[in-house]
């Protein structure tokens, strides 16, 4: 039996309204991220302990599980450490919310810890749909990009990164949408490169339908 969704289908985005526009902050690592790292570490140790206590084919199987757990832990740790290198990232958006078919201006500003020099910046506007199918052990999560727009960035080294973009969103794309098992998420994804290390800084956006004429 399906339950009807009640309330708004628009996602909540934490913003600050100013006279110049609406400011969106790039999220920093939280205690929840640390908790996930700890859980992955514990899972790896459990798989490793089971592999060491087993013999024959069971030891090989559990050893492979331990290796997979280690790879997952290291990947998550690397992502966490790269995110921690961001000191501050802000995006000033006008208008807010963004309207399909309308012009939008974004002013981007970011700085790494210890004012580390940024050799390059890549920025992309994304619209991604995510669907959750089934439940329990049979749950499946599928996602796909519905729209991508590469934004032009200056190519020179700097310690404070500032960019400004103005563009129009196609009116035929879906607006932001969030219910229990279906999401349409808009975001600006950026990557700052310093000393060969990529530091991500993403910004959630709120996009609503165009005005009917």
Convert the pLDDT of each residue in 82-118 to its tens digit. 778 899 999 999 999 999 999 999 999 999 999 899 9
- pLDDT recorded at residue 141: 81
Q: Which of 18-27, 58-67, 157-166 has the lowest mean pLDDT?
A: 58-67
The SS3 call for residue 30 is: coil
For the domain 16-28+86-208, what is the CATH code?
Answer: 2.60.40.640
- The whole model's pTM is what? 0.75
Over its C-alpha atoms, the chain yields an Rg (Å, rounded) of 21
Copy the structure tokens of residue 156: 């020179």
Percent of the chain with pLDDT over 90: 53
- pLDDT recorded at residue 170: 93
Confidence class for position 81, pLDDT limits 50, 70, 90: confident
Sequence-distant contacts of 20-24: CB under 8 A, at least 24 apart: 20/92, 20/94, 21/92, 21/93, 21/94, 21/95, 21/96, 21/105, 21/107, 22/92, 22/93, 22/94, 22/95, 22/96, 23/90, 23/91, 23/92, 23/93, 24/90, 24/91, 24/93, 24/203, 24/204, 24/205
Confidence class for position 67, pLDDT limits 50, 70, 90: low
The yes-or-no verdict on residue 5 having pLDDT over 50 is no
Confidence class for position 4, pLDDT limits 50, 70, 90: very low
First to last CA, the chain: 38
Q: Quick one: average pLDDT of 111-128?
A: 94
The yes-or-no verdict on residue 161 having pLDDT over 70 is yes
DSSP code string of 115-182: GPPB-EEEEEEEEEEEEEES-GGG-EEEEEEEEEEEEP---S-BSEEEEEEEEE--TTS---EEETTE
The yes-or-no verdict on residue 128 having pLDDT over 70 is yes
- pLDDT recorded at residue 132: 82
- pLDDT recorded at residue 43: 65
């Amino acid at each position: 039996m399906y339950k009807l969704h009640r309330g708004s289908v628009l996602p909540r985005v934490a913003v600050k309204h100013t006279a110049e526009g609406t400011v969106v902050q790039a999220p920093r690592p939280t205690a929840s991220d640390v908790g996930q790292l700890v859980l992955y570490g514990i899972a790896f140790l459990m798989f490793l302990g089971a592999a060491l206590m087993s013999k024959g084919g069971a030891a090989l199987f559990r050893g492979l599980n331990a290796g997979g757990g280690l790879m997952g832990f290291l990947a998550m740790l690397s992502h966490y450490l790269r995110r921690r290198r961001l000191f501050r990232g802000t995006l000033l958006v006008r208008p807010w919310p963004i309207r399909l078919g309308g012009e939008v201006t974004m002013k981007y500003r970011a700085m790494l810890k210890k004012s580390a020099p940024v050799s390059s910046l890549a920025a992309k506007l994304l619209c991604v749909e995510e669907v959750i199918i089934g439940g329990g052990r049979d749950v499946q999560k599928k996602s796909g990009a519905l729209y991508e727009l590469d934004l032009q960035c200056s190519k020179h080294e700097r310690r404070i990164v500032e960019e400004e973009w103005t563009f129009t969103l196609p009116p035929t794309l879906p607006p932001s949408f969030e219910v229990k098992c279906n999401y349409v998420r808009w975001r600006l994804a950026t990557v700052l490169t310093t000393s060969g290390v990529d530091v991500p800084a993403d910004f959630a956006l709120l996009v609503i339908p165009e005005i009917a004429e």
